[in-house]
Amino acid sequence: MSGLGGLNKSAHGVVVGLVQLQLPNVKTPADLAAQTQRICEMVGKARRNQSTMDLVVFPEYALHGLSMDTNPEIMCTLDGPEVAAFKRACIEHRIWGCFSIMEVNPGGNPYNSGLVIDDQGEIKLYYRKLHPWVPVEPWEPGNLGIPVCDGPNGSKLALIICHDGMFPEMAREAAYKGADIILRTAGYTAPIRHAWKITNQANAFCNLAYTASVCLCGSDGSFDSMGEGMFCNFDGTVLVEGGGRVDEIITAELRPDLVREARTGWGVENNIYQLYHRGYVAVKGGAQDCPYTYMHDMAAGTYRLPWSADVKVTDGTSCGFAPPERNYQG
């Protein structure tokens, strides 16, 4: 199915490379510039590594590392030099790229943002992480929803970031909007390894979508990221799986045309369709209602768990962050 990692590319295939990038240590603007250059060099490595590659994906925190530093001097903007360098690299090496930046937010904490840039240097997808990894991460909750874009060779791409992938609603929303390849970038460390694997598989199977997921790799002297690049087929099986080798690029050929075939042709386990067509054998068209209390409550602004009053960790003070004073504005 993966065409020997994309070496034998089919007419309908999309070859994706997942970069298990060395975890950087970025403290100063000079560090940021050096890491930007390193990422651009890795774009070149991806192209030299495989001439058939359509898209190279870098992990979350590839540019900034795991320090959670919100120093304005090392934050990025869409029109800044870092994004400009990524655009030039994609043009030079004739390849699509997925990149991570910590983005300036004039109204509050920075955003944890992801970009997909095409081989002409155009930003095709711009996403702000909806679910920062609380209580560890200080980033502003994203406010752009979950965008989907047209990708290479007829694909539809979505990007979710790290902790996002632990919420089944995230991958479901991406697939609902048409994504057949769901990218997931992360900086996760070893304690999350099992949850990482099973959620990547579940997100694929439950939505009849490919998932292509990658973490940072190696140590910065304080933290150890795990690498663990992996591709999951739309039936939930693992196609290709990386380990902990720093800067290795894990590759696979994905077939969006087969996703489309499954989504329209499967009866058994066509879960994303059957969610809204319950029991269509018994009733015409199935039951088209919303029987889920939590969905109604979220929409009404009344979401409350039976144990909400007993939850002990509700801000970032345990990780050294001051309690927030602003309400979310959306």
CA distance 100 to 272: 29
Give backbone dihedrals phi and psi of 226, rounded to 5 degrees, phi first: -105, -5
Residue 56 to residues 215, 236, 252: CA-CA distances in angstroms? Answer: 13, 22, 11
What pLDDT, on a 0 to 100 scale, did the predictor assign at position 2?
A: 64
Tokens of 103: 């983005």
Strands 238-241 and 148-150: unpaired
Helix axes 29-49, 81-93, angle to 10 degrees: 10
Decide if pLDDT at 1 tops 70.
no
The answer to whether the predicted template modeling score (pTM) of the entire model surpasses 0.95 is yes
* 6-10, 69-73, 227-231: the lowest-pLDDT one: 6-10
What pLDDT, on a 0 to 100 scale, did the predictor assign at position 51?
A: 96
Decide if pLDDT at 329 tops 90.
no
* 3-268 has CATH 3.60.110.10 classification: yes
What pLDDT, on a 0 to 100 scale, did the predictor assign at position 181?
A: 98
Decide if pLDDT at 156 tops 80.
yes
Decide if pLDDT at 277 tops 80.
yes
Q: Quick: pLDDT tens for 245-265.
A: 999 999 999 999 999 999 999
Mean pLDDT of 259-276: 98
Residues near 41 by Cβ (< 8 Å), separated by ≥ 6?
none
**Catalytic residue numbers?**
60, 129, 162
What pLDDT, on a 0 to 100 scale, did the predictor assign at position 129?
A: 98
Give the residue among 197, 46, 40, 175 at the shortest CA–CA distance from 121. 40
Which residue's entry shows tokens 């510039």? 33
The full set of domain ranges for the chain reads: 3-268
Decide if pLDDT at 208 tops 90.
yes
